[in-house]
Amino acid sequence: MTRSPSSRTPVALALAALALSAAPALAQELRVQCYSDGNECEVTGEIAKRFEAANAGAKIVIDKVPYKAVVEQLPVQLAAGEGPDIARVTDLGGLNKYYLDLTPHLSAARQKFWSDNFASTLPWFRAGAADKGIYGLMSQLTVTGAFVNKTLFDQAKVPMPGDKATWDDWMAAADKVAKATKVPFAMAMDRSGHRFAPLAVAYGAKIFDANGMPVVDAGYQTAVKKFVDWHKAGLMPKEVWGGVGGSQYRDAFEEFANGRVVVYYSGSWQLKRMDTQVTKAFEWAVAPAPCGPAACTAMPGGAAFVGLKRTKQPALVAKFLDYLAEDANYRELMAKTENIPASLSVAKAGVTYNVSPLAKTALNAFVADVPKIAGPNYALQGYRFNRAVFLPTAQRLGQAVAGEMSADDALKRLASDIDEQVKAASK
């Protein structure tokens, strides 16, 4: 029996998109592998249509894939010499060896434009201090943060903690709200080492030792034990971190959207989903970065479009990414996707967002947290092998949350994993 396209499973569709993105490009065709938190792929496609109109014979194909495909399958493709011409990635430095340097294909004036406007993020793509290449364009600059179900706080008549409130303050307040409103859990956090990092740094984690190597220090240990204890106490849903194996990513958006948690720690990339799926259900807000004894900090990050060495058309790749970087196009990308601009010129001129009052207030809250980001968080995001920290953290904490090992054992395994993975990645 022949299945209709509409009857294909999400897995089948994802595999089909991956196959297409790995296929050889036609003479003037670029394939762009794109995952989306909201509508990033669709908006990029709209801008690509104008590029095609301005460049006779050029064809930009946007292949939308799940985030898991970018994290797990794209590196395998690239290692085999396959893959798309351009990909939207989050492992900015870790995939550097596969990137196309756009510099030879950009005029001196355009090189200066990139250097002037994206100075803070260009190093995230590079192999080290000696690397001066231009490899990719931030499609979103992100900031982690806590989304709060304000309606539940109002119903429980519990005041929301303010500036300088600690993680413990937020957990205590959210627990009061959960008990008063019969909500199952106080707080949830995306299953991600990246998301855990602000908690660790808030409690004193330095992330790196004096030699610049990742270290599971006393601050990191304190945060891990606190996090595991919160789950043991039933304050956080075990199924988010303990319900999947390995280093697999899982967000907790649905738990928040369905009213199962009072506070959800995720980040600015969720704004589009919040505005379109949650605003009509209840009032929500973004809390200031929670504090610990060492810092009140968020975690920077983001996704970027990068050119890949395996392309047969490096000049066209550079031309398209440079087109996306132009102020008017980049401003449109930020406005329609409700993301924070990484371009200094666009940020200075401002972006007009067509969003609800809730989303606009939330966006401003994320922007206000940018100056608070602690040094170790910036260093970790820019670290070439940050996945060697992020992925084992998700795996070992997940095992501790699930009860498969103690927090102390998880910490021992985590330290060993990070050391081994950094050594392997450095070869």
Q: Where in the chain are the domains? A: 5-141+302-349, 143-300+357-426
Residue 162 and residue 290 in contact, taking contact as beta carbons nearer than 8 Å: no
The secondary structure of 336-401 as a DSSP string is HHT-B---HHHHHH-------HHHHHHHHHHHHHGGG--HHHHHHHH-TTTHHHHHHHHHHHHHHH
- Could you say which of 3.40.190.10, 1.20.1250.20, 3.40.50.2300, 3.40.50.720 is the CATH number of the domain covering 143-300+357-426? 3.40.190.10
Q: How far apart are the C-alpha atoms of 30 and 21, rounded to whole Å?
A: 9
148, 151, 260, 257: CA torsion to nearest 10: -70
Q: How far apart are the C-alpha atoms of 33 and 18, rounded to whole Å?
A: 8
380, 63, 25, 317: CA torsion to nearest 10: -50
At the second CATH level, the architecture of 5-141+302-349 is: 3-Layer(aba) Sandwich (3.40)
Give 287's strand partners.
146
Q: Which residues of 33-61 are buried (b: 16+ CB within 10 A; e: fewer)?
A: bbbbbbbbbebbbebbeebeeeeeebbbb
Q: Tell me, what DSSP letter sits at residue 70?
A: I
Kindly give the confidence (pLDDT) of every residue in the chain, 427 residues in length, as a single tens digit, with 9 standing for 90 and above.
333 333 344 444 444 444 444 444 445 899 999 999 889 999 999 999 999 999 999 999 999 999 989 989 999 999 999 999 999 999 999 899 999 999 999 999 999 999 999 988 999 999 888 999 999 999 999 999 999 999 999 999 999 999 999 999 999 999 999 999 999 999 999 999 999 999 999 999 999 999 999 999 999 999 999 999 999 999 999 999 999 888 899 999 999 999 999 999 999 999 989 999 999 999 999 999 999 999 999 999 999 999 999 999 999 999 999 999 999 999 999 999 988 899 999 988 988 888 889 999 999 899 899 889 999 999 999 898 999 999 999 999 999 999 999 999 999 999 999 999 999 988 7
Instruction: Judge if 5-141+302-349 and 143-300+357-426 fold alike in CATH terms.
Output: yes
φ and ψ of 262, to 5 deg: -85, -40
Type of residue found at 252: A
Q: How far apart are the C-alpha atoms of 394 and 397, rounded to whole Å?
A: 5
Q: Alpha carbon of 355 to those of 87, 99, 186, 275, 352: distances in Å?
A: 28, 35, 28, 7, 9
CA atoms within 13 A on the CB side of 256: 30
Q: Distance of alpha carbon 93 from its chain centroid, rounded?
A: 14
